[in-house]
């Protein structure tokens, strides 16, 4: 199939799904076909081969018991055992997102909707001899197609063994040359998958013997490096930026867990980040200045001071190369959580009312649910309540802010 044909099909699938009427029709079609439900931790199932290993995410587990205080996926299967529905529950919002899966003998079409029934994205999978051979996704960005892209993943096999994933992103303005490309190669031995590489970097290596003992030693080293680097950075910042009022200290972790930074938010950088924005935006609800401040305050990509934690990163990358870490994304998150708790116990972020002036948390890519959980675990209740108040404004503003807030006015 040519790129133009793939794009046409992807856009057709997207446009067809991007209405609330289509959501309702899918709901009426899919829900009655569910014969069994399985509750799991988030992202347990994936049609992308080796998705968890490639992206360094824990596969999680099947859950026997769930509650409103837990983020989890409710997975529905039809009479043939096909996954046809995933309801992703949010303990914070007390709502869920719906993802529908439509199966044919040679393809799977996926359509995902958020808790307001707004369409999020669609994907298409092509199967050859029972194996996924191609994945395509049309990602619409903004109102104009000049920002939208077509993402393709091609899967190459040797028999049933996956040997390579070649991912390409094409801007709609030029389907001849990809503007982003990523190739993963897979190495197998008699015991199964041994290594996954992206270019010259190892992204997965099967755990070695005695990995549990070595992992414990590595975790201790990682936490010590995180603690010492963080303390040094924070103390130096307070001296060199003594006129700035700190309100947030975050660890920001790449989705793969191999890149770690700390981000320091101050009231002064927050005001600088939104300065001028309110002059070129419009809102359907709420004061633009207030809405922007509530959206930017907890987003460590707008107006924060960033610092690399290189020594801690080296510990993680050395452990990967030695095959000690298998699910190192989760390992890094756990280490960061423990260190933040230790620094807090040492009164590094203040005591009493002064402690309530600073929010400590972890950000992993755009994974908001982890952020919400950590905020609740690590901060005094007044601090956490203030954060959740802002987040609710941001989430509730999703309907009108994400699409309308940053539209520039004419002239």
**Nearest Cα residue to 98 out of 151, 148, 29:** 29
134-155 pLDDT per residue, tens:
998 877 665 555 567 788 899 9
Average pLDDT over every residue of 176-195: 90
Instruction: Give, rounded to a whole angstrom, the gap between the first and last alpha carbons of the chain.
Output: 44
Q: Using CA atoms, how far apart are residues 262 and 306, in angstroms rounded to an integer?
A: 6
Higher pLDDT, 396 or 231: 231
Give the span between the Cα atoms of 342 and 332, in whole angstroms: 15
Domain locations in the chain as residue ranges = 3-205, 211-404
Give pLDDT, residue 77: 96
pLDDT exceeds 60 at position 378:
yes
Long-range contacts of 2-7 (CB under 8 A, 24+ apart): 3/150, 3/152, 3/170, 3/175, 4/175, 6/136, 6/150, 6/152, 7/138, 7/150, 7/170, 7/172, 7/175
337's enclosing H/E stretch is helix 328-345
- Check: CB of residue 391 under 8 Å from CB of residue 293: no
Listed range (107-111, 271-275, 282-286) with the worst mean pLDDT: 282-286
Q: Write the pLDDT tens digit of every residue in 192-238.
A: 999 999 887 888 888 777 767 877 888 899 899 999 999 999 999 99
pLDDT in tens, 8-26: 777 777 777 777 888 899 9
Q: H/E element holding 333?
A: helix 328-345
């Amino acid at each position: 199939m040519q790129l133009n044909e793939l794009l046409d099909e992807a856009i057709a699938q997207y446009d067809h799904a991007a209405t609330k009427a289509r959501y309702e029709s899918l709901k009426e079609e899919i829900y009655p076909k569910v014969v069994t439900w399985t509750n799991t931790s988030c992202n347990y199932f994936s049609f992308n081969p080796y998705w968890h290993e490639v992206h360094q995410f824990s596969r999680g587990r099947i859950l026997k018991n769930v509650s409103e205080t837990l983020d989890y996926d409710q997975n529905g299967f039809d009479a043939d055992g096909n996954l046809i529905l995933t309801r992703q529950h949010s303990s914070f919002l007390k709502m869920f997102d719906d993802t529908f899966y439509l199966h044919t003998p040679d393809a799977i079409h996926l359509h995902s909707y958020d808790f307001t029934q707004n369409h999020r994205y669609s994907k298409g999978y092509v199967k050859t001899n029972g194996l996924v051979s191609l994945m395509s996704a049309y990602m619409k960005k903004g109102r104009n197609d000049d920002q939208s892209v077509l993402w393709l993943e091609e899967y190459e096999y040797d028999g049933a063994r996956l040997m390579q994933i070649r991912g390409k992103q094409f801007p709609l303005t030029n389907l001849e040359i990809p503007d982003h490309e990523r190739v993963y190669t897979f190495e197998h031995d008699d015991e199964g998958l041994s290594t996954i590489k992206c270019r010259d970097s190892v992204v997965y290596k099967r755990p070695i013997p005695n990995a549990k003992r070595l992992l414990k030693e590595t975790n201790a080293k990682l936490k010590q490096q995180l603690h010492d680097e963080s303390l040094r950075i924070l103390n130096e910042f307070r001296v060199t930026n003594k006129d700035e009022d700190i309100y947030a200290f975050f660890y920001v972790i790449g989705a793969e867990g191999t890149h770690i930074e700390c981000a320091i938010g101050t009231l002064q950088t927050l005001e600088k980040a939104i300065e001028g924005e309110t002059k070129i935006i419009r809102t359907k609800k709420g004061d633009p200045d207030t809405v922007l401040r509530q959206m930017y305050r907890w987003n460590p990509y707008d107006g924060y001071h960033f610092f690399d934690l290189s020594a801690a990163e080296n510990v993680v990358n050395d452990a990967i190369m030695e095959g000690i870490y298998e699910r190192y994304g989760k390992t890094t998150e756990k280490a960061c959580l423990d260190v933040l708790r230790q620094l807090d116990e040492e009164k590094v972020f203040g005591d009493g009312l002064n402690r309530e002036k600073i929010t400590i948390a972890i950000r992993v890519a755009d994974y908001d649910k982890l952020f919400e959980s950590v905020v609740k675990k690590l901060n005094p209740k007044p601090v956490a309540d203030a954060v959740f108040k802002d987040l609710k404004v941001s989430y509730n503003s999703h309907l009108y802010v994400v699409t309308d807030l940053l539209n520039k006015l004419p002239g």
